[in-house]
Amino acid sequence: MEIKHLVSSKDLTKDEYEELLRRFNYFVENGISPDLCRGKIVSTLFFAPSTRTMNAFQMAILRLGGGWIGVMGEEGLSMEKGESFEDTIREYSCFSDLIILRHPDDDSADRAAKSSYVPVLNGGSGSREHAIATPWVLLSMAYYLKRPLEGLKIGIYGTPEINRCVKAMMPIFGMYGMEVIIDDLGHFPLPKEIEKRSKANGLKSLKYDKLDNFIGDVDILFLTRGLQKGIIPADKFPKEKEKMILKSYKPITKEHMKKLRDDAILFMLKPRIFEIEKDVDPDPRATHSKKEPYGETGAAIITYYLGIDI
Amino acid sequence: MEIKHLVSSKDLTKDEYEELLRRFNYFVENGISPDLCRGKIVSTLFFAPSTRTMNAFQMAILRLGGGWIGVMGEEGLSMEKGESFEDTIREYSCFSDLIILRHPDDDSADRAAKSSYVPVLNGGSGSREHAIATPWVLLSMAYYLKRPLEGLKIGIYGTPEINRCVKAMMPIFGMYGMEVIIDDLGHFPLPKEIEKRSKANGLKSLKYDKLDNFIGDVDILFLTRGLQKGIIPADKFPKEKEKMILKSYKPITKEHMKKLRDDAILFMLKPRIFEIEKDVDPDPRATHSKKEPYGETGAAIITYYLGIDI
Amino acid sequence: MEIKHLVSSKDLTKDEYEELLRRFNYFVENGISPDLCRGKIVSTLFFAPSTRTMNAFQMAILRLGGGWIGVMGEEGLSMEKGESFEDTIREYSCFSDLIILRHPDDDSADRAAKSSYVPVLNGGSGSREHAIATPWVLLSMAYYLKRPLEGLKIGIYGTPEINRCVKAMMPIFGMYGMEVIIDDLGHFPLPKEIEKRSKANGLKSLKYDKLDNFIGDVDILFLTRGLQKGIIPADKFPKEKEKMILKSYKPITKEHMKKLRDDAILFMLKPRIFEIEKDVDPDPRATHSKKEPYGETGAAIITYYLGIDI
């Protein structure tokens, strides 16, 4: 039997996103039973730093009644003795039922999937892909909006050109026939290839405009992180580009929130460094500061890949 | 509903200490059922080193049938990418049902409690407070003494002036109408403010004397650690003070134990570095070397803060 | 009641190896029930690096329905504050039901066993012993061979002189009346003392020959690691010896596998660095690349030392 991995956001069909959404909603409504994954094990292998992805999956498998083992950094591993990455991954696939991987190399998730006996979910391979983020963002948006995703109007503010998560989400926005308007700070447009794929998937429209011109229209105001610390290595990210971002990325303020519709949400790819001012946090539409449904999201993804009926 | 935190030892009333003691005794007598916390999660966030506090809570939630996620140091966290401490804590409060925190900053626990969606228990914030230590020490004393805590006579040997745990315990000793005699090595008396609070709480008496003069009278001989490595930063702790302690702190020997009453106990705030000589360890009254009821203590505290009926 | 530890491979009798094998086979056939160790805790204390030993035991206790706490390196421990190794071990024996230990000092496991309230299993103490490896290797061999271990013919290729695992296995091979033929690269014979003990235990024969001369005869071709990185400190391992090994250790190739019997297995003490060429991995007789029964092995050992009936 072939093993289903999640190396790229392209690995999931719309039906599969819908199935994940169904499981997510089930857990939100019914809670997460600790009988579902008794004795099951998730390996969280984080060769690059993470707060959210790693802990969210550790949390989810614990809520489901299983447990986790893990790696943070390369210290203490047999890789220090010279073991290859592939051999290390294969060993972890003998230790567990599912692998969540983050690694600085762009091709790491592909290579891991090839040597693993269990599903590998890509939680960030270099600057290229963070495949897990795609269902993650989609389920969160559905949760906070509390209405169907089909045909939504999404405003994006920030640096789509260099943001791996926006690049992964766009084709999915296409699947759901959404309209997208981008304020790229004047300098960081979406790569053409991504635009093309998104439109091929059904994206209703893609426009560029100033945030002020569209903030009152959108269902979701979607912010990228400003800086790319921890994702793009410092030596590969030109200092002048960083300066340009810091100069042109104006944090979201209470004034912005006044223009946002009452039934819209503000959604940010955390960590928030400076992108949203702190006095925005109490706003009910500001989702980054709310009690997040991390357990439910993780449980939907884990049970799906473990083939557990819900 | 307001969340109950344990930021300072002052946050607990005598009734609450008694309730913790009742739960503790229940677990000692009946064992800890792994059905009590199935699917529940404790975050152990240790931004400063710990053996006991961290592992004791990880142990306790495992005995209760739940699990833990955690941080040790700041490495690998999104805080490295610039995320604020408050935002990091809020995320962990989305990952778990309870947070145990140790952090080098004095105000860290207050700040954490303000941004958390779940109870925060302070396991050491800088040199100021180790709120968890208070019920911890109280339950342990009750366990080893096997008699009521009311009106006990406690001898303290060491450096109360700089020991956060003694400073936190004194007002509790007050609640229980205890008598306290201190040998402060001639140099490290209890701060006046603490003495005042303890007396206001009901402390029967507070005297200073030489250890040899009171060792035969006390129910509990309570030792502070000699050095404060890992608690007070090296640059804030004058070298001459350290020398003075090392010169005047005479380790407890078998000779001392001969003078201690048969029904008294020797109690030390571990780790023991040099404060008790090793050949004292087998003495039945030396509690630091016995099989400690860490699971029962942790289970009492966790179930109380999670609102689980016992 | 005396506590049973596993400090040296000599601590186990043949009856005990057989009992471990019986438990292992039970778990292979029936799966591992997460009801067996609910609320039980294993401490994995790895003061020296490990992928396999540490994760295998964390995995096994999770499959059994319990949990783990652990140490990796010395960072963050109270040992940094000056606590002794013995005191640290005693504390962990208060936190858990079983301790798995790896430590760079040769006498660490003996010392740990003396201060622990729970069984200590030695997962590598310096270059001297890796007591856990002995049942581990034996159970794995039985698993892959699928026939009785009595009287097998084992070919060893590599550096027995400096390999702690081979040195521990030889007396066990003796217990099972095996025949052993060694190709020691011409330079690294088994220490005489080990040869003597193995024969006293019942070893049928011990010969030295070239790999090519015996590869077609053996039931098991057993490879040691080439280098000893991570086990023998760099300053204690002469550079010229390392060069000699790298020069004379010829990796196992597909050509070798043609000569191996169809019902034989290739068994390697991982990690594999260069000792087996990668295109050998798909060979069904190459066990190092197969889905390993780590959970079952760990579960057999854990349940035995916890005194849980299977």
Q: What separation in angstroms does the CA of A165 have from each of A108, A269, B204? A: 17, 8, 64
Interaxial angle between packed helices A164-175 and A192-201, expressed in degrees from 0 to 180 and rounded to the nearest 10: 20
**Alpha carbons within 13 A on the beta-carbon side of B115:** 18
Section A101-115 average pLDDT: 93
Closest chain C residue by Cα to residue B278: C87
Identify which of B69, B75, B90 has the shortest CB distance to residue A55. Answer: B69
Closest chain A residue by Cα to residue C71: A76
Parallel/antiparallel/unpaired status of strands B120-125 and B153-157: unpaired
Between CA B217 and CA B263 the distance in angstroms is 11
Q: Do C94 and B291 touch (CB under 8 A)?
A: yes
| Range with the largest mean pLDDT of A121-130, B226-235, C69-78, C82-91 | C82-91
Radius of gyration from C-alpha coordinates of chain B: 19
β-partners of residue A44 are A70, A100
Q: How far is C141 from chain A (nearest CA, A)?
A: 17
Contact with chain C for residue A35, Cβ under 8 A: no
Closest chain C residue by Cα to residue B47: C76
Q: What angle do CA B48, B50, B53 make, to 5 degrees?
A: 120
Section B281-294 average pLDDT: 97
Per DSSP, C131 falls in state: T
Q: What is the pLDDT of residue B121?
A: 97
Q: What is the pLDDT of residue C1?
A: 57
DSSP H helices in chain A: 14-30, 52-63, 85-95, 108-115, 133-145, 164-175, 192-201, 211-214, 239-248, 254-259, 294-305
Neighbours of C212 (CB within 10 A): 10
Residue A269 or C295, more confident: C295
Q: What angle do CA A23, B34, B113 make, to 5 degrees?
A: 70
Cα B259 from chain centroid? 27
Q: Do A271 and B78 touch (CB under 8 A)?
A: yes
Q: Do A41 and C62 touch (CB under 8 A)?
A: yes
Contacts of B86 (CB under 8 A, 6+ apart): B111, B112, B114, B115
Identify which of A38, A79, A94 has the shortest CB distance to residue C65. Answer: A38
Q: How far is C78 from chain A (nearest CA, A)?
A: 19
DSSP H helices in C31-151: 52-63, 85-95, 108-115, 133-145
pLDDT band per the 50, 70, 90 thresholds, residue A228: low
Contact with chain B for residue A229, Cβ under 8 A: yes
Query: Neighbours of B (≥3 Cβ pairs closer than 8 A)?
Result: A, C
Interaxial angle between packed helices A133-145 and A14-30, expressed in degrees from 0 to 180 and rounded to the nearest 10: 50
pLDDT band per the 50, 70, 90 thresholds, residue B232: low
Q: What is the pLDDT of residue C183?
A: 98
pLDDT tops 90 at residue B296: yes
Question: Which of A95, A115, A117 to mutate to test binding with chain C, by most C CBs within 10 Å of its CB?
Answer: A95
Three-class SS state of C254: helix
Per DSSP, A13 falls in state: -
Q: What is the pLDDT of residue A1?
A: 57
Q: Do C94 and B292 touch (CB under 8 A)?
A: yes
Number of H helices, E strands in chain B: 11, 9
Contact with chain C for residue A92, Cβ under 8 A: yes
Helix then strand then coil, in percent of chain A rounded to 5, is 45, 15, 40
Closest chain B residue by Cα to residue C39: B63
| Residues from chain B contacting residue C117 (CB–CB below 8 Å) | 291
Q: What is the pLDDT of residue A249?
A: 94
Radius of gyration from C-alpha coordinates of chain C: 19
Between CA A199 and CA A205 the distance in angstroms is 8
List the one residue out of C301, C287, C179, C282 whose CA is nearest residue C223. Answer: C287
Section A259-271 average pLDDT: 96
Section A150-167 average pLDDT: 94
Q: What is the pLDDT of residues C227-259, one digit of tens each?
A: 766 556 666 677 788 888 889 999 999 999 999
Contact with chain B for residue C79, Cβ under 8 A: yes
Section A165-170 average pLDDT: 92
Dihedrals φ, ψ of C276, to 5°? -130, 130
Contact with chain C for residue A273, Cβ under 8 A: no
Average pLDDT of each block of 10 consecutive residues along chain C (310 residues)?
Answer: 89 97 98 98 91 94 97 65 90 97 92 97 86 95 96 97 90 97 95 96 98 98 82 69 88 98 96 95 97 98 97
Question: Which of C83, C86, C95, C115 to mutate to test binding with chain B, by most B CBs within 10 Å of its CB?
Answer: C95
Mean of the per-residue pLDDT values for chain B?
93
Identify which of A39, A66, A91 has the shortest CB distance to residue C51. Answer: A91
The answer to whether the beta carbons of residues C229 and C249 sit under 8 Å apart is no
Within chain C, strands assigned E span: 41-46, 67-72, 98-103, 120-125, 153-157, 179-183, 205-208, 220-223, 265-268
Q: What is the pLDDT of residue A28?
A: 98
Q: Do B67 and C67 touch (CB under 8 A)?
A: yes
Three-class SS state of A111: helix
Q: Do B83 and A291 touch (CB under 8 A)?
A: no
Q: What is the pLDDT of residue A16?
A: 97
Dihedrals φ, ψ of C67, to 5°? -150, 175
Between CA B56 and CA B300 the distance in angstroms is 12
Between CA B40 and CA B299 the distance in angstroms is 12
Between CA A76 and CA A310 the distance in angstroms is 38
pLDDT tops 70 at residue A114: yes
Q: What is the pLDDT of residue A239?
A: 79
Query: Neighbours of A (≥3 Cβ pairs closer than 8 A)?
Result: B, C
The answer to whether the beta carbons of residues A66 and A41 sit under 8 Å apart is yes
Both structure tokens of C264 = 């034989």
Q: Do B95 and A55 touch (CB under 8 A)?
A: yes
pLDDT band per the 50, 70, 90 thresholds, residue A74: low
Q: What is the ipTM of this complex?
A: 0.93
How does DSSP assign A87-98, residue by residue?
A: HHHHHHHHH-SE
Contact with chain A for residue B72, Cβ under 8 A: no
